Amino acid sequence: MRTVKSIYLEIVQNVDPKTEDQAVITEGTVGTVDGESFSKEDILNFYNRARMITLSRLRQLQLYPLFVESIPEVIDTVSEDLSLHGDPPPHYIFEHPEGYVRHIGLMGPGEKPGFIIPKSHKFSLISGSDPYYDITRFAFAIEEEDGFHIYYQPAEGAEKFHIMYVKLEPHTIADVTGGTKVESINPEYHHVIISVAGAIANERGGVDPEALALRLLGGGQ
């Protein structure tokens, strides 16, 4: 397993290897100085975005078990008191937390069974036309751009839902300069992260970072 520092350094060497004074950024100075074109925070942002893109494309390719086995700490369960939102029908919204990658499961109030269903089933759910979607007995969630929309017959006040999801905590500059934190993503995909970070930095180069990640993972041309 490689450290965050070593991967960050390789990204720097690929996209912005010298400072404004033309000093080469080395293992000893990486993370403490800015490059000629990008600040140290810019490089960190490229790195973190590349990690998220890589995992998102793995999800698209249904290779989820391949990276979860190598990142046990990304599995998290959050219990949230969610406030009701309006019609139709009244429902709760759980916003995607920072670092969110994908959902795993849902449990309604009082350990009531919860199910995350495809967006294509939304009409059947909210219209009540399908008896399977009985919101008096179960909690159902549909994932939208802004988070999970959870449909459930509410009681008085806020309701507590348990949501299990995969997340990825962003690295910090302290992780780089500390030199000991290990990159948690499967080493098989480190080259993808580095290449995608380079594509993000070179935004005018005509290479779409998401398409590049998909191609490098074997899912595209």
* pLDDT (0 to 100) of residue 19: 97
Asked if residue 39 and residue 119 are part of one domain, the reply reads no
CB atoms within 10 A of CB 42: 16
Asked if residue 80 and residue 148 are part of one domain, the reply reads yes
Asked if residue 149 and residue 85 are part of one domain, the reply reads yes
Taking the C-alpha atoms of residue 96 and residue 45, their distance in angstroms, rounded to an integer, is 19
In a domain, 173, yes or no: yes
In a domain, 131, yes or no: yes
Q: Which of 4-13, 37-46, 172-181, 182-191 has the lowest mean pLDDT?
A: 182-191
In a domain, 158, yes or no: yes
Asked if residue 163 and residue 84 are part of one domain, the reply reads yes
In a domain, 221, yes or no: no
Asked if residue 111 and residue 194 are part of one domain, the reply reads no
Residue 51 makes CB contacts below 8 A (sequence gap 6+) with 168, 170, 171, 185, 193
In order, the DSSP letters of 119-141 are GGGHHHHHH---TT--TTT-EEE
Q: Looking at 167, 183, 199, which one is the last position of a domain?
A: 167
User: Which of 46-50, 94-98, 125-129 is most confident?
Assistant: 46-50
β-bridge partners, 103: 165
pTM over 0.85: no
* pLDDT (0 to 100) of residue 10: 98
99 has pLDDT over 80: no
Asked if residue 163 and residue 78 are part of one domain, the reply reads yes
Percent of the chain with pLDDT over 90: 40
Asked if residue 187 and residue 123 are part of one domain, the reply reads no
Q: Given pLDDT bands bounded at 50, 70 and 90, which one contains residue 68?
A: low
Asked if residue 63 and residue 19 are part of one domain, the reply reads yes
In a domain, 22, yes or no: yes
Helices (H), the chain: 4-15, 40-60, 64-68, 122-127, 173-178, 190-201, 209-216
Q: Which of 149-158, 178-187, 198-207 has the lowest mean pLDDT?
A: 149-158
In a domain, 129, yes or no: yes
Q: Looking at 130, 150, 167, which one is the last position of a domain?
A: 167
* pLDDT (0 to 100) of residue 103: 78
Asked if residue 175 and residue 147 are part of one domain, the reply reads no
Whether omega for the bond prior to residue 88 falls within 30 degrees of 0, making it cis, is yes
Asked if residue 173 and residue 163 are part of one domain, the reply reads no
48 has pLDDT over 90: yes
Give the residue numbers spanning the domain of 94. Answer: 74-167
* pLDDT (0 to 100) of residue 174: 97
Q: Which of 42-56, 173-187, 200-214 has the lowest mean pLDDT?
A: 200-214
Q: Average per-residue pLDDT in the chain?
A: 85
CB atoms within 10 A of CB 75: 12
